[in-house]
Amino acid sequence: MSRSLRIFLTIMLIPLIYLSSVRFVSQLFFFTGKRTLYENENVFRPQSSQTLSAKRNILSFLVYLDPLYPEYHYLLARQVFFQDIKRAEDLTIKTLRLSPIDPEYWTFYGWIKTTEGQLQEGYKAFLKAIELNPGRPGSYIQQALFLNYILPLMDANGRSLYKVIIDLDLQIARNLDIKFFLQNPYVYLVTAANAAYSNDRKTALEWLNRIPDSFLTDWQFILQVWALYFQLGSSYRPIAHFSQLLNNNKLTIEQLNYIEREIKTRYKASGFRYILAQIYIFKGDIEQAEKELIALNSQQNFAEYKILLASIYEKQGRFQEAFRLYQQAMELSPSNQIAKKKVIEYYSKGFKGRLAK
């Protein structure tokens, strides 16, 4: 082999070695194997703001080092979804330019357009994912989930048509991979929603309760689950789940802003007022939290709703109103330890004296 040929081969191998090294190292931080947004690892998993920031920085560096690898653009788009939806869209468009035949990327693009309120464009993206790979069950489940998401916005004729398509999507996904279908919590949600629309509350709750807490990791999905629980008059799981995440510092300000925005623009169930009140309290807007809770308590009798409003009244020195709410909460839920503890506290520490303040 001539010296010039060896030099030429060496020059040709350098980029390959470089890219292979970058991608090998990236695997230590991010799983970049093929998956859909709603099948395996989910970037919407509650993480600390420091963790999210570190991941964004690493992925930005990987995009800089290897700009022609679509997976880095895609993963970065998922990481900045809550922080900057426009940047997420730009990164996903770049991803699609680099790899226009991957249904996974089209599915994520569909959710971006849906979040932006461009439902027609979102629907086209889900259809494109199915067109690119008709044998991929996840694409049909994603389309069913999307249609379930927009179903409340449709008129009666639209709902009837979309319900037919949802049933067809689920049947196709089941036929393609029954094991994947039966183990997919997104299927549980859509099936529960169908039962709810048929006024079968018991069946709907049975399907919802199959969804493990460990899978409630992305907010598009979580909010749909909570909305259905509220619609069915079962508020305990949504408020317990949100309170746990908030109290354990598992939510970033970007995620809270996203939740607030989605609730205000899309979700009308009265139970979401509790979630909004918690967010306002976290942000220090006690006045707005009080308004939400007063409206909520005028609509529904639920112990946790009264306890949260009572805690606000206590901080404002309105002990008479707080005590009355704690009493009402204990009457609604005699086993509620917070209400019981507070009522006992008022009596043991001098009930009349406290109220006189």
pLDDT band at 1 (very low <50, low <70, confident <90, very high): low
Round to whole Å and give the CA distance between 264 and 280. Answer: 13
Q: What pLDDT sits at residue 100? A: 95
- Token readout for 321 is 């109103």
User: Residue 154's pLDDT is what?
Assistant: 85
**pLDDT higher than 60, residue 22:** no
Q: What share of the chain in percent tops pLDDT 70? A: 82
The 10s digit of each residue's pLDDT in 328-355 is 999 999 989 999 999 888 887 765 544 5
Quote the CA–CA distance of 221 and 235 in Å, as a whole number: 17
What pLDDT score was predicted for residue 54? 75
Phi and psi for 116 in degrees, rounded to 5?
-80, -5
Q: What is the pTM of this model?
A: 0.75
How does pLDDT run across 84-101, given as a tens digit for each residue? Answer: 899 999 999 999 999 999
Summarised one tens digit per residue, pLDDT across range 261-288 is 989 988 889 999 999 999 999 999 999 9
HEC profile for the chain? CCHHHHHHHHHHHHHHHHHHHHHHHHCCCCCCCCCCCCCCCCCCCCCCHHHHHHHHHHHHHHHHHCCCCHHHHHHHHHHCCCCCHHHHHHHHHHHHHHCCCCHHHHHHHHHHHHHCCCHHHHHHHHHHHHHHCCCCHHHHHHHHHHHHHHHHHCCHHHHHHHHHHHHHHHHHHHHHCHHHHHCCHHHHHHHHHHHHHCCCHHHHHHHHCCCCHHHCCCHHHHHHHHHHHHHCCCCHHHHHHHHHHHHCCCCCHHHHHHHHHHHHHCCCCCCHHHHHHHHHHHHCCHHHHHHHHHHHHHHCCCHHHHHHHHHHHHHCCCHHHHHHHHHHHHHHCCCCHHHHHHHHHHHHCCHHHHHHC
pLDDT band at 17 (very low <50, low <70, confident <90, very high): low
| 28 or 284, greater pLDDT | 284
Residue spans of the domains in the chain: they are: 31-118, 134-217
CB-CB contact of 43 with 258 (8 Å): no
Q: Are 231 and 56 in contact (CB under 8 A)?
A: no
* Integer Cα distance of 293 and 289 in angstroms: 6
Between CA 193 and CA 29 the distance in angstroms is 37
Quick one: pLDDT at residue 212?
A: 84
Summarised one tens digit per residue, pLDDT across range 50-64 is 566 777 888 888 888
Residue 19 has pLDDT above 70, yes or no: no
Tens-digit pLDDT profile for residues 132-163 = 999 999 999 999 999 988 888 888 888 889 99
Determine the length of the chain.
Answer: 357
Question: Which residue is listed with tokens 């067109």?
Answer: 131
Burial of 138 (0-12, 13-18, 19+ CB in 10 A): buried
Whole-angstrom distance, CA of residue 211 vs CA of residue 214: 8
Identity of the residue numbered 226 = W
Q: What is the mean pLDDT of residues 248-272?
A: 88
| Mean pLDDT within 20-45 | 45
Q: CA 191 → CA 5, 39, 165, 169, 234, distances in Å?
A: 63, 17, 13, 12, 17
| The predicted structure's pLDDT at residue 21 | 53
Query: CA–CA separation, 5 vs 11, rounded Å?
Result: 10
Enter the tokens of residue 295.
């409206």
Give the amino acid at 280.
Y
Architecture in CATH of 31-118: Alpha Horseshoe (1.25)
**Does residue 43 register a pLDDT over 50?**
no
Q: How many CB atoms lie within 10 A of CB 315?
A: 11
